[in-house]
Amino acid sequence: MRTQLDFRTPYAGPVHAVIFDWAGTTVDYGSLAPVAAFTELFRRHGVAVSDDEARVPMGAHKKDHIRQLLAMESVARRWKEAHGVEAGPEEVEALYSEFIPLQTEIITRHASLIPGAFEAVQSLKAIEIGIGSTTGYTREMMASLLAESKRQGYEPDCTVCADEVPAGRPAPWMALRAAMQLGVYPMAACVKVGDTLADIAEGLNAGMWTVAVTKTGNELGLAESDADALPRNELSARLEAAARRLLLAGAHYTIDDVSELPALIDSINDRLARGERP
């Protein structure tokens, strides 16, 4: 165990584990792969889904994501117009079966590490912090991404997928299983990092510190070149709006990208030493 504690003794730090999301956090700048897969899936069935609509349930188990998209008033209306009936459980299952190979193929096009992610992870490992990861992708979808990220030098100590727990985000089970695999407790010794509202909910429900990423993830939703091409005042305004949404969702901190994370660990350790809890 990394953390050994008598339950009667208040924990006073330090952080022993960081649990990262994948798309939009450590790989796939802008979280583009899931958006491309969902919009293409529905296009194949004669239903237009905008990028913004596809991003609303981001971070959830992909079957839940499909279910939530179909429950959106705008998408439900278009589905009924195209098919004459509302989508039900059978349609969800059929769409999900079709989605799995589609998403698996698209992931490989968006597998590059986000700039600064490798260095941030190495900095955390240097101070003996365990590196976990959770994802709304299934294990089948993750196979090629895990191989590609390893080729680039990023290999978390553990990865927990949405199909390996009773329920995906916002439930805490993936984060808790990652902590268990890392051998870290209490949950106050863990930091959950992600770019979606669902990530934040997952971390909070697990009793962990939560750090939300704004620039590289779902909230801004732009490829690196597109983000950098924005006028500075527009980019700043959009990042501030993203930070507000994520803080309102309960995030303890927001950062532009994970390169800023190592500096936050000292701040969290200070709060733990003062007796603060997530």
Catalytic residues: 21, 62
> Which of 188, 48, 196 lies closest to 134, judged by CA?
196
Give the separation between CA 118 and CA 259, rounded to whole angstroms.
9
Sequence length of the chain is 278
Distance between CA atoms of residues 33 and 96, nearest Å: 16
The dihedral built from the CA positions of residue 233, 226, 54 and 193, taken in this order, carries a sign that is negative
Q: Which two tokens stand for residue 47?
A: 């239903």
> What three-state secondary structure class fits 219?
coil
Three-state secondary structure call for residue 186: coil
Tokens of 193: 């990092």
CA atoms within 13 A on the CB side of 278: 26
3-state SS assignment for residue 153 = coil
